[in-house]
Amino acid sequence: MFIIIHSLVTSVSLTALESQNTTTQHFVTDFVLLGFPGQGEMQNVFFSFILVVYLLTLLGNGVIVCVVKWDKRLHTPMYIFLGNFAFLEIWYSSSTVPNMLVNMLSETKTISFTGCFLQFYFFFSLGTTECFFLSVMAYDRYLAICRPLHYPSIMTGKLCVVLVCVCWVSGFLCYPVPIVLISQLPFCGPNIIDHFVCDPGPLFTLACIPAPSTELICYTFNSLIIFGPFLSILGSYTLVLRAVLRVPSGAGRTKAFSTCGSHLMVVSLFYGTLMVMYVSPTSGTPTGMQKIITLVYSAVTPLLNPLIYSLRNKDMKDALKKALGLRTNQN
């Protein structure tokens, strides 16, 4: 009897140890980001294109930051917001593109578990900060056009600094909860993400157990962060449009539309791709299309923003010409 009991205990102990070893063996410590399809020449084409886009993004937004800092005529709330926005775009693009380029050259294409969630955090936090800045910039244009006499007394330097700080701080405070919730899910394999960034959708797919409550919290969070600022922007520009249409002078209407046109183009580019990706159902969307959409708002949009603002804004063009002229004279 003792021998039988001893055998059963030994068998149970071995099974438990084997189960523990299996769990430990299959616990994911890193992820594989497949990136873009293709090999050899195709990967070289993708690498060259994305590298050029990234370098131009750094150059274009860096120029705006420097011009706003150096030209005292641009030390107004509108351009302070624009300078911060350009600085934000540099880091927003840098949160994904360098790792994407490294992955294209890597054979393993792996990213550590911690690295994946750090990228997730910074990418989404910076994207959230961008939403808040676009909303604040729309409010600034509303005050300038709809309440021009009260604008200097409302949009003071102190309020401008407060709004800038609120955008940066609140953007980075929004996503710790979703990040922690998703990171606590069990990932026991496979560990392959058919994307070039750590996105919540593929991460939920890789989790060993379904997590409907966590998914609901995260998607509700995304919707609030996207639609909150968007509705604020929509409200501001609805009031701006009403005010502009009441302007009797055609030249006045043209000037007002020109002032807001660049901002509206940026909002359309950013929110258009963002809503397609995170608001509309993506279950039926091909993975390749999801990658292209993500590439547009994470890499291409930060490149286009400085071009839109500098080419459509007279003050910015004059400041750029002045900066180039000073350098030419110095040379």
Cα 203 from Cα 182, distance rounded (Å): 8
Cα 300 from Cα 56, distance rounded (Å): 10
Cα 163 from Cα 175, distance rounded (Å): 20
Residue 331 in domain: no
Q: Which residues contact 161 (CB under 8 A, 6 or more apart)?
A: none
What number is the average pLDDT over the span 201-219? 86
What number is the average pLDDT over the span 38-48? 81
Average pLDDT, the chain: 81
What number is the average pLDDT over the span 74-95? 93
H/E segment holding residue 111: strand 110-112
Cα 110 from Cα 81, distance rounded (Å): 37
What number is the average pLDDT over the span 207-216? 87
Residue 165 in domain: yes
Which residue type does 142 have?
Y
Which of the residue ranges 71-80, 106-115, 154-163 has the most confident prediction, judged by mean pLDDT?
154-163
**Quick one: pLDDT band at residue 6, thresholds 50, 70, 90?**
very low
Of 156 and 241, the structure prediction assigns the larger pLDDT to 156
pLDDT at 285: 59
Cα 60 from Cα 115, distance rounded (Å): 28
Would the pLDDT of 27 be above 80? no
**Tokens 């309020």, residue located:** 159
Structure tokens at 171: 């953007």
CATH number of the domain enclosing 285: 1.20.1070.10
What number is the average pLDDT over the span 218-241? 88
Residue 192 in domain: yes
**Tokens 């890499």, residue located:** 299
pLDDT at 9: 37
Of 40 and 232, the structure prediction assigns the larger pLDDT to 232
Would the pLDDT of 318 be above 60? yes
Domain hosting 175: range is 32-318
CA distances from 126 to 85, 131, 159, 261, 284 (A): 11, 9, 22, 24, 28
pLDDT at 259: 64
Residue 132 in domain: yes
Would the pLDDT of 280 be above 70? no
Measured from the Cβ of residue 248, the count of other Cβ atoms closer than 10 Å reads: 6
Structure tokens at 309: 């603002």
How many residues in total does the chain contain? 331
- Is the sign of the CA dihedral 307, 288, 128, 270 positive or negative? positive
Tally of domains in the chain: 1
pLDDT at 136: 95
pLDDT at 296: 86
Residue 78 in domain: yes
Residue 2 in domain: no
Residues 120-163 pLDDT 10s: 999 999 999 999 999 999 999 899 888 989 999 999 999 999 99
Structure tokens at 318: 């004059």
Cα 260 from Cα 253, distance rounded (Å): 11
**Quick one: pLDDT band at residue 255, thresholds 50, 70, 90?**
low
Phi-psi category of residue 189: left, alpha or beta, with phi > 0 → left and psi -120 to 50 → alpha: left
pLDDT at 14: 37
48 near 292, Cβ under 8 Å? no
Residue 23 in domain: no
pLDDT at 106: 82
Would the pLDDT of 58 be above 80? yes
Residue 330 in domain: no
Number of helices (H) and strands (E) in the chain: give both, helices first.
Answer: 14, 3
